[in-house]
């Protein structure tokens, strides 16, 4: 049952919001939370983060005039309230093909600016936008960056702050949405610092006490006054440490502010806007505010959800076993066998499956925050020190640490294993979450070895093989979702698994990881046309196996099917290897085109880019017929 018409239905733009009487804002906030729970429970999406920023987003759009003023959301998963307040009320197809994106989208609205959902970039974007406004003679146009305490753990944020600090007249407001969490509780020195800033509430209470106590006491001389004044100054030095951080950098600081007191947030934002210079507004919010299942969710399952029962917060369907589970369980087993095994995560302990390892071996898990670059270089140091680190990240986030993989892990022959979750087409999270670049960037790292398991059994066996390598980086990548049914090899041929045999084959089909089932179906289509095909899984796909080169000498055509960028992935590496070996077989590569992919289900995306058995088979038969 849908929600009854109410105050939210009257808001189609920020102008409507600004005309709304202040005394009606609490009602609006309640309706927005009710809408989010009702809608997102039907479609799935990021529920907890958006419930936490309702009053903050309302205040932002009442104080600043988007799109004249620019509001940049870091990561963007907390932009649902922003979408509602800028006229987008149809959430029925959220994150689905043809529906609203789960992140800001320029195609949807002029109010949306940054579409990339990679964290810690908002401050750099905001400084650039604000600087452009100044250079264009538009200093009246303000720029606001909304960044979470989790994203502030990323080094790029601090590179930006370092530059923003010298921009004394830049009309830039940085809103720190401090909820003590990203996917999980924020850790590290910054988290400790923000926790200290939260104690300023205690300082303000003590300050009120001091003002009352000192009232009527002479300000000149007097032991009582001097003592009380000294105590007050001492308290400030202890519990007001932003004086020694943000303001000492030259950036004004306002806060901390109760992020669920809309009037207080508005007041703080108006003060910040009036400064005419960079200013940080520290807003304390509660992730999952107003929805008890989210507040009770210590494991942060409500950060991003599938379809759930809104009454209980429980999923309607019991989740099946996913690829991540295979990695997670095997890591625990390996931890017992290998005391030198250390796991590293970048603020994603649970999503990448390291939570079980952390429970058993808490001293051997390191969460660096949203700092993939640091994770990789530190892992190289751990390897030098005699440990074998496993760096587990989403495939899309490996991009952020490529230099460290190349120059720290690769150049130094570091025995570091990278485990890339959500590799290939992920679908509903859109362009910046598809893990379609990893094999391309890994392919140019000298000495690196990359495997793509075809099923859960191979995840376990190839992880074991990876951590046995101590003189070069190794990579294991697998997709999002339910793990594939086991595919038993017909036989082994050198380092390869033969999945479908053929006598005197005309075509060699190389299936890469999760595309092995597709390769088998393509072989069936070819054989229906009288073309015999041998299907192999190289298991370790980079560098290209000598066994692939050997088999390629016996056929006229080699087909590589992968869920990676087709122009520079395994297929391209195979063509290069065969060319170097003077193999005459023609290479046909099928993968992801060099373009950013619209959000849709994985199946819909694969269909749209032609990476399905029917399309590949049809195209391949036409090509082979043309070269017969």
Annotated binding site: 77, 117-119, 149-151, 179, 291, 372
* Dihedral sign for Cα atoms in the order 221, 200, 119, 422: positive
Q: Taking the alpha carbons of 539, 541, 542, 548 in that order, is the dihedral positive or negative? A: positive
- State yes or no: is 460 an active-site residue: no
* 127 contacts 163 by C-beta, under 8 angstroms: yes
The residues that bridge with 172 in the sheet, in sequence order, are 143
C-alpha distances in Å from residue 317, one per residue of 43, 102, 480: 13, 22, 17
* Alpha-carbon distances of 529 from 28, 499, 533, 607, rounded to whole Å: 63, 20, 11, 23
The span from the CA of 109 to the CA of 189, in Å, is: 37
E strands in 134-291: 143-148, 172-178, 252-258, 279-284
CA distance 321 to 482: 6
* H or E element, residue 206: helix 200-214
Do residues 103 and 49 make contact, with C-beta atoms less than 8 angstroms apart? no
- Give residue 250's Cα distance to chain centre: 31
- DSSP string over 531-547: --EEEEE-SEEESPPHH
User: CA of 108: how far to CAs of 15, 103, 507, 525, 620, in Å?
Assistant: 18, 10, 45, 41, 37
The answer to whether 413 and 585 have CB atoms below 8 angstroms apart is no
Residue 332 has phi, psi (to 5 degrees) of -65, -45
Catalytic residue among 287, 289, 449, 480: 287
Which residues line the annotated binding site for thiamine diphosphate?
77, 117-119, 150-151, 179, 291, 372
DSSP code, position 486:
P
* Alpha-carbon distance values, 88 to 19, 146, 590 (Å): 18, 20, 37
Question: Which residue is catalytic, options 180, 330, 372, 562?
Answer: 372
Q: In angstroms, how far is CA 587 from the centroid of its own chain?
A: 35
| C-alpha to C-alpha distance for 77 and 36, rounded to whole angstroms | 13
Q: What 3-state class would DSSP assign to 306? A: coil
- Residue 193 and residue 252: Cα distance in Å, rounded? 17
Is there a contact between 587 and 556 (Cβ–Cβ < 8 Å)?
A: no
How far, rounded to the nearest angstrom, does the alpha carbon of residue 429 sit from its chain's CA centroid? Answer: 9
Contact at 8 Å (CB) between 143 and 65? no
Question: Which of these is catalytic: 88, 400, 480, 602?
Answer: 400
Token duo for residue 244: 């020694």
DSSP state of 472: S
Question: What is the number of residues in the chain?
Answer: 628
Using DSSP's 3-state secondary structure scheme, residue 361 falls into coil
**What SS3 state is found at 101?**
coil
Active site residue 24: no
**Cα gap 105→295, rounded to integer Å:** 29
Task: Could you list the residues known to form a binding site for Mg(2+), using ranges.
Answer: 149, 179
141 a catalytic residue: no
117-132 as b/e, with b when 16 or more CB fall inside 10 Å? Answer: bbbbbbbbbbbebbbe
Assign 453 to helix, strand or coil.
Answer: coil
List active site positions. 287, 372, 400
């Amino acid at each position: 049952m849908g929600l009854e018409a109410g105050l939210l239905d009257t808001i189609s733009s920020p102008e409507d919001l600004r005309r709304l009487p202040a005394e009606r804002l609490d009602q609006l906030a309640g309706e927005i939370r009710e809408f989010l729970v009702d809608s997102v429970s039907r479609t799935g999406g990021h529920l907890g983060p958006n419930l936490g920023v309702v009053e903050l987003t309302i205040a932002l759009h009442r104080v600043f005039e988007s799109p004249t003023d620019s509001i940049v959301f870091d990561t963007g998963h907390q932009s649902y309230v922003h979408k509602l307040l800028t006229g987008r009320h149809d959430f029925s197809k959220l994150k689905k093909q043809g529906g609203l994106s789960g992140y800001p989208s320029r195609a949807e609205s002029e109010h949306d600016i940054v579409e990339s959902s990679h964290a810690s970039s908002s401050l750099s974007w905001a400084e650039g936008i604000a600087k452009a406004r100044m250079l264009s003679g538009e200093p009246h146009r303000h720029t606001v960056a909304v960044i979470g305490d989790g994203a502030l753990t990323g080094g790029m944020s601090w590179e930006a702050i370092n530059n923003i600090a010298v921009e004394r007249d830049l009309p830039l407001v940085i809103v720190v949405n401090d909820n003590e969490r990203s996917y999980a509780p924020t850790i590290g020195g910054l988290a400790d610092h923000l926790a200290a800033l939260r104690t300023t509430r205690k300082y303000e209470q003590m300050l009120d006490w001091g003002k009352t106590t000192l009232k009527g006491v002479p300000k000149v001389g007097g032991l009582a006054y001097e003592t009380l004044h000294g105590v007050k100054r001492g308290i400030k030095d202890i519990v007001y440490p932003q004086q020694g951080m943000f303001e000492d950098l030259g950036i004004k600081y306002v806060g901390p502010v109760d992020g669920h007191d809309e009037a207080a947030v508005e007041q703080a934002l108006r003060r910040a806007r009036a400064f005419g210079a960079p200013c940080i507004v520290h807003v304390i919010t509660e992730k999952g505010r107003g929805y008890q299942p989210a507040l009770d969710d210590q494991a942060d399952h409500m950060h991003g959800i599938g379809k759930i029962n809104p009454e209980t917060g429980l999923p309607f369907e019991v989740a099946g076993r996913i690829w991540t589970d295979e990695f997670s369980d095997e890591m625990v087993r390996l931890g017992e066998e290998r005391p030198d095994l250390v796991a590293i995560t970048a603020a994603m302990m649970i999503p990448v499956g390291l939570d079980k390892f952390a429970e058993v071996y808490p001293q051997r898990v390191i969460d660096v925050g949203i700092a993939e670059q640091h994770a990789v270089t530190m892992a190289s140091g751990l390897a030098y020190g005699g440990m074998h680190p496993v760096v587990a990240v989403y495939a899309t986030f490996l991009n952020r640490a490529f230099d460290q993989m190349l120059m720290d892990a690769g150049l130094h022959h570091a025995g570091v294993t990278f485990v890339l979750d959500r590799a290939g087409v992920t679908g509903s999270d859109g362009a910046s979450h598809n893990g379609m670049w990893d094999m391309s960037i890994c392919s140019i790292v000298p000495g690196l070895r990359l495997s793509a398991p075809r099923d859960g059994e191979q995840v376990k066996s190839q992880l074991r093989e990876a951590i046995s390598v101590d003189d070069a980086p190794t990579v294991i990548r697998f997709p999002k979702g339910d793990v594939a049914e086991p595919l038993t090899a017909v036989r082994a041929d050198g380092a390869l698994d033969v999945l479908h045999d053929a006598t005197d084959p005309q075509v060699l089909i190389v299936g890469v990881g999760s595309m092995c089932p597709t390769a088998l179906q393509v072989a069936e289509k070819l054989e229906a046309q009288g073309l015999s095909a041998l299907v192999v899984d190289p298991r370790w796909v980079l560098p290209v196996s000598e066994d692939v080169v050997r088999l390629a000498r016996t056929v006229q055509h080699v087909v590589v099917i992968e869920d990676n960028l087709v122009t520079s992935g395994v297929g391209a590496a195979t063509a290069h290897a065969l060319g170097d070996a003077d193999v005459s077989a023609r290479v046909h590569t099928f993968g992801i085109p060099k373009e950013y992919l619209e959000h849709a289900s994985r199946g819909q995306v694969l269909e749209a880019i032609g990476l399905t058995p029917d399309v590949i088979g049809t195209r391949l038969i036409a090509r082979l017929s043309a070269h017969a």
